[in-house]
């Protein structure tokens, strides 16, 4: 759906009058998985697809939430923008309004809002971060709040914690809010210092493969990993002064890991510590133009997510195995939270078509599921369109 079609949809639903349009992208993470809530590095890029929010202030004391993707709609009074509505999608935008209220921002008039997303939902490409960020950017501008973008990013993350119950790190919202076309975001999730690194991928494309596995990121498993990481920190604290897993280097970890008595917790921590190190090295390689070395670290990342962190599952592993043996594949791994969703691969231009047909066929033969492929186009972080 293009921008003028979206405008007509808005007018059809809410009537003639002025309307503003905003957009925030989904993301694909190239490397640095499950490191963000441990204060580590991540390296995602913003995509060209994401979530749109069309909005008009109305003077009425309610906010209307509707979506072209979902049937459920809600009209919420300005006094109730701090409470979830059942288990509905509207909790993402309401959760963002709630963060503005928490900051003491008062809304004296409501709005009509229409959302539309073209990120495949549940694919691990951050459709939820996109809707949170686009809402934050739209409110910030329409109501003249004027918060810096990074505040909006943090509020979007809080909305996810408080209204979706996922104790996520900041990667997705940050990529959606701060990403830039043809760049990846090299983010230190502890300090929020970041660098936009040009994606120098001469002759290589980023291919996203959606497993279409019905099992998507579930908050229970995700939050369990978060707790396991905290348990690892507690076990290591008597031996080294750390507050998070990013505070320990790989060699120190190797020397101290036997103090973590729970073997599962030790493996979770080993993934995080080694993944932070891989991310740092991978970004150095990319800056040197050594895409091959970057790709090898992607493979190591997948192995670690599969064996130590145990967030891959049969579908992501089947996609990985099908991809890894193809000619022209420089690197491949699961991306996002895991438990289904997508892999991301670096594939030589001339091999992309063959990759899609062969990996697709093999994946289907192994799992019985039909995958989808997207040759990723990067895009800019959240912005006003009109």
Catalytic residues: 172
Task: Supply the minimum distance, in Å, between the C-beta of residue 32 and ligand GLA.
Answer: 7
Closer residue to ligand GLA (CB): 51 or 62: 51
Is 133:177 a contact under the CB 8 Å cutoff?
Answer: yes
**Cα dihedral 105→106→112→113 (10° resolution):** 20
The stretch near ligand GLA (CB under 6 A) out of 83-91, 132-140, 163-171, 345-353 is 163-171
228 binds ligand GLA (CB under 6 A): no
| C-alpha separations of 229 from 157, 158, 242, 363 in Å | 19, 20, 12, 32
Task: Supply the minimum distance, in Å, between the C-beta of residue 187 and ligand GLA.
Answer: 11
Structure tokens of 380? 């800019």
Task: Supply the minimum distance, in Å, between the C-beta of residue 37 and ligand GLA.
Answer: 6
Task: Supply the minimum distance, in Å, between the C-beta of residue 264 and ligand GLA.
Answer: 18
Closer residue to ligand GLA (CB): 21 or 124: 124
341 binds ligand GLA (CB under 6 A): no
3-class SS of residue 326: coil
Q: Which residue, chain included where needed, has tokens 């970004």?
A: 283
Closer residue to ligand GLA (CB): 212 or 335: 335
322: exposed, middle or buried (Cβ count in 10 Å: 0-12, 13-18, 19+): buried
Report d(CA 241, CA 262) in Å as an integer.
Answer: 20
The stretch near ligand GLA (CB under 6 A) out of 98-106, 110-118, 168-176, 204-212 is 168-176
Q: List the one residue from 33, 112, 132, 315 that touches ligand GLA (CB under 6 A).
A: 33
User: 31: closest CA among 347, 355, 303, 359?
Assistant: 303
Q: List the one residue from 21, 169, 179, 371 that touches ligand GLA (CB under 6 A).
A: 169
24 binds ligand GLA (CB under 6 A): no
Closer residue to ligand GLA (CB): 62 or 127: 127
37 binds ligand GLA (CB under 6 A): yes
31 binds ligand GLA (CB under 6 A): no
34 binds ligand GLA (CB under 6 A): yes
Please report the DSSP string for 219-233 in residue order. HHHHHHHHHHHHHHH
- The values of phi and psi at residue 38, to 5°, are -110, 15
Please report the DSSP string for 238-299 in residue order. TTS--SSGGGS-HHHHHHHGGG--SHHHHHHHHHHHHHHHHHHHHHHHHHHT-HHHHHHHHH
171 binds ligand GLA (CB under 6 A): yes
337 binds ligand GLA (CB under 6 A): yes
User: 138: closest CA among 161, 116, 170?
Assistant: 116
* Binding footprint of ligand GLA on the chain (CB under 6 A): 33-34, 36-37, 168-169, 171-172, 336-337
């Amino acid at each position: 759906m293009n921008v003028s079609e979206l405008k007509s949809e808005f007018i059809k639903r809410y009537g003639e009058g002025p309307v503003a349009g905003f957009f925030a992208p989904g993301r694909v993470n190239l490397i640095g998985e499950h490191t963000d809530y441990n204060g580590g590095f991540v390296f995602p890029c913003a995509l060209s697809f994401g979530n749109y929010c069309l909005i008009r202030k109305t003077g009425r004391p309610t906010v209307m939430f509707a979506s072209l993707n979902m049937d459920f709609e809600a009209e919420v009074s300005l006094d109730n923008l701090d409470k979830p509505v059942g288990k509905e999608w509207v909790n993402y935008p309401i959760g963002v309004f709630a963060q503005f209220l928490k900051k003491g921002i008062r809304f004296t008039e409501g709005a009509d809002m229409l959302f539309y997303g073209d990120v495949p939902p549940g694919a691990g490409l951050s459709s939820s971060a996109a809707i949170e960020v686009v809402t934050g950017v739209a409110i910030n501008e329409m109501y003249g709040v004027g918060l810096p973008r990074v505040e909006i990013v943090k509020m979007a993350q809080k909305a996810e914690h408080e209204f979706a119950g996922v104790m996520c790190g900041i990667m997705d919202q940050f990529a959606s809010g701060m990403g830039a076309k043809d760049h990846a975001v090299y983010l230190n999730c502890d300090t929020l210092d970041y660098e936009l690194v040009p994606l120098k991928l001469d002759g290589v494309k980023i291919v996203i493969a959606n497993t279409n596995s019905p099992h998507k990121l579930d908050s229970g498993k995700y939050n369990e990993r978060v707790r396991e990481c905290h348990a690892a920190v507690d076990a290591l604290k008597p031996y080294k002064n750390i507050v998070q897993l990013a505070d320990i280097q790989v060699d120190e970890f190797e020397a101290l890991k036997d103090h973590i008595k729970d073997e599962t917790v030790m493996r979770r921590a080993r993934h995080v510590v080694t993944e932070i190190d891989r991310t740092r090295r991978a970004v150095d390689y990319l800056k040197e133009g050594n895409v091959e070395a970057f790709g090898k670290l992607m493979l190591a990342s997948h192995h670690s997510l599969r064996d130590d962190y145990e967030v891959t599952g049969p579908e992501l592993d089947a996609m990985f195995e099908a991809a890894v043996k193809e000619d022209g594949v420089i690197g491949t791994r699961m991306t996002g939270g895991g438990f289904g969703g997508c892999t991301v691969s670096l594939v030589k231009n001339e091999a992309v078509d063959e990759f899609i047909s062969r990996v697709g066929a093999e994946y289907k033969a192994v799992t019985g599921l039909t995958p989808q492929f997207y040759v990723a186009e990067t895009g800019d972080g959240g912005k006003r369109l009109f």
